[in-house]
Amino acid sequence: MSSSNMTIHLKIWRQKNAESKGRFETYTLDSVNEHMSFLEMLDVLNEELIENGDDPVEFDYDCREGICGSCNLVINGRAHGPKHLTAVCQLHMRNYSDGDTVVIEPARAAAFPVIKDLVVDRSAFDRIIEAGGYVSVKTGSAPEANLIPVEQRKANLAFDYATCIGCGACVAACPNSSASLFTGAKIAHLNKLPQGEPERKQRVLAMVDQMEKEGFGDCSNFAECEAVCPVGISISAIAEMRRDYMKAMFDN
């Protein structure tokens, strides 16, 4: 397979910790292969920095397969970069041209404090899940798959919402730093299924309240969250969350 190397100029946010004042620093890589993934390109940068005795750029990743949601970078002002339905770890340098300048920064939100450089603390998402993103069942062997019939349409919707990887792109893209798409998806995928019905009202009240406690903003229907979601979660999840929340409030 033929390939060509490019010169890429990087403008990267560097910040020692949440209390430190951050800044952009510029770097140039002269031998970026078009077949590299975006994270492999950052690996090459860090190898050069370490060889020169400089601190490497901290960035988050794990699976590098678009599954874990760790690679929540903002590239040239867009969460996860320019390619639709693609996480940063699945982005390749062939999407860029020789001589391009690429600006890389963390997902900026009050509820996502910077840990270092491009790494942010997304534990607020964990606390939202802990508030009600589960089904209380007795442990034991798995029940027979067809024991509880589920309408196909609802099963499909529940699966679509369950594909949320919790990357935080929705928060980074929202002008209000809202976590409504994440929270809505986590609520809806359980509320759609009969197993989630007993805790339906309690779940939506607890998770929405926790979302507000974490300092996320309100949704204003900009739909930027849907536009950058790497797995294509629909903003219909937000509408379902609002409907269920209002029903639970009235019932209480």
Domains along the sequence of the chain with CATH: 5-116 (3.10.20.30), 123-251 (1.10.1060.10)
* Residue ranges in the chain modelled with pLDDT below 50: 1
Token readout for 82 is: 């320019």
The token pair that represents 100 in the structure block: 């391009």
Rounded Cα–Cα distance for residues 49 and 27 (Å): 10
User: Shortest CA distance to 173 belongs to which of 90, 235, 101?
Assistant: 235
Question: Which pLDDT value is given to residue 4?
Answer: 79
pLDDT in tens, 62-115: 999 999 999 999 999 999 999 999 999 999 999 999 999 999 999 999 999 999
Parallel, antiparallel, or unpaired for β 114-116 and 119-120? antiparallel
Q: What is the reported pLDDT for 139?
A: 66
Sequential DSSP letters for 49-97: HHHTTPPPPP---S-SSSSS----EEETTEET-SSTT--GGG-BGGGS-
Q: Which residue from 10, 33, 6, 237 is spatially nearest to 118, judged by alpha carbons?
A: 10
C-alpha–C-alpha distance, residues 184 and 181, integer Å = 5
pTM (two decimals): 0.94
